[in-house]
Structure 1
Amino acid sequence: MNLNHLQYFVKLAYLEHYTKAAKDLSITQPSLSHAISSLEEELGTKLFEKQGRNVILTKYGKIFLKYVEKSLEYLQEGVDKTKALTCATSGLIDLGYIYTLEADFMPNMVRKFLDENKDKNFGFTFSSNNTKSIIEGLKNEKYDLGFCSKVENETSIDFIKVKQEELVIVVPKNHELSKYNEIDLIETISYNHIVFTKSSGLRQVIDNLFKQIDKKQNISYEVENDSSMAGLVAQGFGIAIMPNIPFLKYFDVDIIKLKSPAYTRNIYMAKLKNKYLPPAVEKFSKFVIKNCNVK
């Protein structure tokens, strides 16, 4: 079914005159007649009937008109929406990022971007998750850009380093370890540890640190995100090895430098290779790279 033919049909339905409709549509009358005949042949019914010099809709033409108008309106809405999302001065950017970035890095980056583009109409959606889910979200186009750990052997994704996070030891306020500015990891093994779940990219990193000293931590609780971890530590459920992130200052905890083995985690901006990015997404991606400057 031809889109132009549907538009011609609507015009004729309202003007009820072939010559007037053809003139409004800037086509010849024979072209309009052919379009209507094609529709009637495809539908197997008459859409118009003569009334003097005019034509009016048949019973079935009136029914068909309702659906055609709804369809054309919905199609136009889709066209307008797509143009709005992909033009250079507006657009929606879907972001997925790991939990450590939700309180500081991501809001600050977006705020700076919007401040530099006050004459534009950019919008964002925000979603925090673990690295595995973010990578899956990129592949199924839930996210335009992901901010997470690097995943080896992900050949379809580009990883661009944007941030580094130092791992520290977090203990309840006035804990017996609080008197130290820095300690070795081996000095924590006698305490209960709150750890990330195995779906977290950090879990394997921290487990490997303990393997380096040939020890195992005493695991008391497993959590999905950093805020839950800090909250449990603050309430005395255990200690934790976690990134030194800004929001820790809002919890009743002490932060101790991890002396040995020290570890700094790299955070990357992830995006699909050979994937078209709308102008808004491309602009934000370049802005992040320019403003992070991490080697």
Structure 2
Amino acid sequence: MNLSHLRYFVKLAQIKHYTKTAELLCITQPSLSHAISQLEKELGVVLFEKGPRGTELTSFGKQFFASVNSSLNILDNGIETIKNGARGNGIIRIGCLRTLGVHYVPELAAAFKNAHPDRDIQFTFHVDLTNSLLKSLAESTFDLIFASRPMVMSQFEATAVSKQELVLIVPNDHPLAKKYIVDLRDTLDYPYIFFDKSSGLRPIVAHMFAEIGANPKIAYEVSEDQVIAGLVAQNFGIAVVPFMDMLLQLDVKILPIAYPSYERKFYMISNKNQYVPPVVQEFKNFVLDKVRNT
């Protein structure tokens, strides 16, 4: 069925006059009549009849108009959405770790929007743990995530964009609180609050202990670094966590780790198997430019 003929049909149904409709469509009246005749022949019904107020829809024509007009509106909206995206507008779906959702990711998003004030650019934000974010990225729920490096990289592309120092935190009345810097080998006698296996930090901290050839005494396993810090403040154990401003507000001693030293890196991660809209690609390039210039 000819799309142009459908558009002619809708316009004639609205104007109810062949000559005026043809003028609005910038075609000849015979061309319009031929198009409507072809539609009627294909459908096997009469769509228009002469009425007291001009050209009127038949009962079949009214049914057909309701369907065609709705379908063309959906089609036109879809076309406009695609064109809008091609012009660099659209929605960027972001997933990130909580620690990156406080300052880093919001500041990047705001800077990108401010750099393109003439565009309609929107963001959605979702906070979760690395493994959950990666699962959602693999399912195309997000365009980009900011998290720890994936353990398996087959379908992901990851670029380091930020880093965070790892520190040891102990209760203020803990024997290690007398130190100003600590070697993890000196902490092995004390119970640890460790990141659980759902956390992207688990393999990072585990690698630190592998470097000293020892295993920590794990008393509790928790996914959230903020919860771990709260438990340490209440004497449930000690922990290796990323440095966070909130640590300064808790009853804990923050100790730099002399050995093995380690920085946690954060990555911008995309799905190599997923189409990247122009606005998302521009944002990726924007982030990478920021990284190169810092």
Shorter-chain TM-score category? 0.7 to 0.9
Unaligned runs of 5+ in 1: none
The residue number in structure 2 matching 1:185 is 184
The residue number in structure 1 matching 2:160 is 161
C-alpha distance in structure 1 between counterparts of 2:134 and 2:35, whole Å: 49
Summarize deviations over 1:154-197 as a string: whole Å, max 9, x none: 24432222112222112234433222122122333333322222
* 1:51 has 2:51 as partner: yes
Q: 1:234 to 1:282 in 2, by over 3 A?
A: same
The residue number in structure 2 matching 1:113 is 112
Number of residue pairs matched?
A: 294
2:140–2:274 CA contact under 8 A, matched in 1: no
* 1:20 has 2:20 as partner: yes
The residue number in structure 1 matching 2:284 is 285
C-alpha distance in structure 1 between counterparts of 2:42 and 2:239, whole Å: 70
Q: 1:42 to 1:285 in 2, by over 3 A?
A: same
Pairwise mapping of residues 264-283 of structure 1 onto structure 2 (< 5 A)? 264-273=263-272, 277-283=276-282
Q: 1:78 to 1:235 in 2, by over 3 A?
A: farther
Q: CA deviation at 1:13?
A: 0.8
1:97–1:146 CA contact under 8 A, matched in 2: yes
TM-score norm. by structure 2 comes to 0.85
Q: 1:6 to 1:113 in 2, by over 3 A?
A: same
The residue number in structure 1 matching 2:75 is 75
What is the root-mean-square deviation in Å for CA atoms of aligned residues?
2.8
The residue number in structure 2 matching 1:213 is 212
Q: 1:188 to 1:2 in 2, by over 3 A?
A: farther
The residue number in structure 2 matching 1:4 is 4
2:191–2:218 CA contact under 8 A, matched in 1: yes
1:194–1:223 CA contact under 8 A, matched in 2: yes
Q: 1:65 to 1:58 in 2, by over 3 A?
A: same
2:166–2:241 CA contact under 8 A, matched in 1: yes
Q: Secondary structure at the match of 2:161?
A: strand
Q: Percent identity?
A: 42
Q: 1:39 to 1:175 in 2, by over 3 A?
A: farther
The residue number in structure 2 matching 1:229 is 228
* 1:96 has 2:101 as partner: no
1:94–1:144 CA contact under 8 A, matched in 2: yes
Q: 1:155 to 1:80 in 2, by over 3 A?
A: same
Q: CA deviation at 1:118?
A: 4.0
Q: 1:222 to 1:288 in 2, by over 3 A?
A: same
Please tell me the residue identity of whatever aligns with 1:283: E
C-alpha distance in structure 2 between counterparts of 1:105 and 1:34, whole Å: 62
Please tell me the residue identity of whatever aligns with 2:254: I
Q: Secondary structure at the match of 2:69?
A: helix
TM-score norm. by structure 1 comes to 0.85
The residue number in structure 1 matching 2:66 is 66
Pairwise mapping of residues 229-268 of structure 1 onto structure 2 (< 5 A)? 229-268=228-267
Unaligned runs of 5+ in 2: none
Q: Secondary structure at the match of 2:178?
A: coil
